[in-house]
Structure 1
Amino acid sequence: MRALTWTIPGLLLILAGAAVEYAMGRTPWCRCGTIRLWQGAVDSPETSQQIADWYTPSHIVHGLLFYAALACVLPRQPLRVRALIALAIEVAWEVAENSSWVIDRYRTATIALGYDGDSILNSVCDMLAMLLGFWLASRLPVRLSVLLGIGLELLALAAIRDNLTLNVLMLLHPIQAVRDWQAGG
């Protein structure tokens, strides 16, 4: 019964985020008509449309970071409360990330020239990836959580020349040299 006290609100948060995205005109799944577990090509129109892609690790890192921040800010709150707060933040980000303003910002400030936003499927899976990161951080020693976060950032950097750190940097303060490097120049 205790699990229901946080599972139901968590599911409701995810459903609310999906409903808002649907109302914003987001597609439920890839327009290609196929649902895939993994989309490995970063320059594909299916990036951010399938269950997972090279940006999924950044959402796991969100969970690691949210766990650490909420453990510092709200140390006396039960883990389930902090998990719900982290999920609410992630849902809010997913909705904002799929707004016209942020999509346009990605197109102009980052290497995501053809970015069209996430499918609802991808967005919900990003929320679940954040919860995975949060759960891992709650179970792993701090050092392993830090190493996992660094490892995921380096993996994405090596694979696609992008990661959470560069994504945030380029959204907030685009640097042409970074954009050129990301584009392979």
Structure 2
Amino acid sequence: MMGRPFSSLGARGAIIACAVIVVAAGLALHFAGRSAICPCGTVKLWHGVVQSDENSQQLSDWYSLSHVIHGLLFYAIGWAVFRRWSVAARLTLAVLVEAGWEVLENSPIIIDRYRAVTMAWGYAGDSILNSLSDIGCMAIGFWLARVLPWRASVALGIALELIALAAIRDNLTLNVLMLVWPVEAIRVWQAG
């Protein structure tokens, strides 16, 4: 897949590579027409109302929990599949995958899919601020998985899923399920 120099990437190289990836993702989102910040003109640390114009526009929201889980999962997958790679190289790959998802998630085809089959009926895509924050949340999850015992990482992932489920009737599991194989009964339940 990737050559030896990448797999042995050190901390300095990873910081530079991750910064380049994040800047490239931000530029791709900009050129795709995404707003830098919430069109409302304000920047908030947290916005907790899912069915609102500010969802996925502010620095963090309920879906930030899913991105932390991405980091937990990417660490586990990287450890299992790319065990010989440096942690820095695995993090860089995780940032690349997450950044790629953020660009894809904000494409018309995925935005339209979210609107059609998930509880995000009025979803208009993420602001660039929110997308870059989501990449940061993934990196936090990756770091947590690196420093926590694996059982604690699993418990954290389950806890984050249950918190989101209780708070907004949605989480990473349901989001993926509804994107890939929509279940009408789940959609009705999510609508409350």
Per the alignment, residue 180 of structure 2 pairs with 172
Residue 116 (structure 1) aligned with residue 124 (structure 2): yes
Residue 12 of structure 1: aligned partner: 20
Asked whether 1:69 is paired with 2:77, we answer yes
Q: CA deviation at 1:22?
A: 0.5
1:6 shift after superposition: 1.1
5 Å matches for 1:138-177? 138-177=146-185
Residue 3 (1) aligns with residue 1 (2): no
Aligned with residue 33 of structure 1, among 13, 37, 41: 41
Q: Once superposed, what is the RMSD of the aligned Cα atoms?
A: 0.6
What is the CA-CA distance between 1:109 and the residue it aligns to? 0.6
The offset of 1:44, in angstroms, is: 1.1
Whole-Å separation in 2 of the counterparts to 1:122 and 1:65:
20
**What one-letter code is carried by the residue in structure 1 that aligns with 2:148?**
L
TM-superposition CA deviations, 1:76-105 (whole Å, max 9, x none):
100000000000000000000000000000
Q: Deviation at 1:3?
A: 3.4
Map Cα deviations across residues 39-64 of structure 1 (whole Å, 9 max, x no partner).
01111110000000000000000000
Given candidates 27, 30, 38, the residue that maps to 1:22 is 30
What stretches of structure 2 of length at least 5 have no aligned partner? 1-9
1:126 counterpart = 2:134: yes
Mapped to 1, the partners of 2:14 and 2:96 lie a distance apart of 12
Q: Secondary structure at the match of 1:39?
A: coil
Query: Does 1:78 pair with 2:86?
Result: yes
Corresponding residue number in structure 2 for 1:93: 101
Task: Report the AA paired with residue 44 of structure 1.
Answer: S
Q: CA deviation at 1:4?
A: 2.2
TM-score by length of 2: 0.94
Give distance in 1, aligned partners of 2:107 and 2:37: 17
- Work out the number of aligned pairs and report it: 183
Q: Which amino acid aligns with 1:4?
A: R
Runs ≥4 in structure 1, deviation > 3 angstroms? none
**Which whole-Å CA distance do the structure 1 matches of 2:145 and 2:128 have between them?**
26
TM-score (norm 1): 0.98
Aligned to 1:106: 114
How far the C-alpha of 1:5 sits from its partner, in A, is 1.4
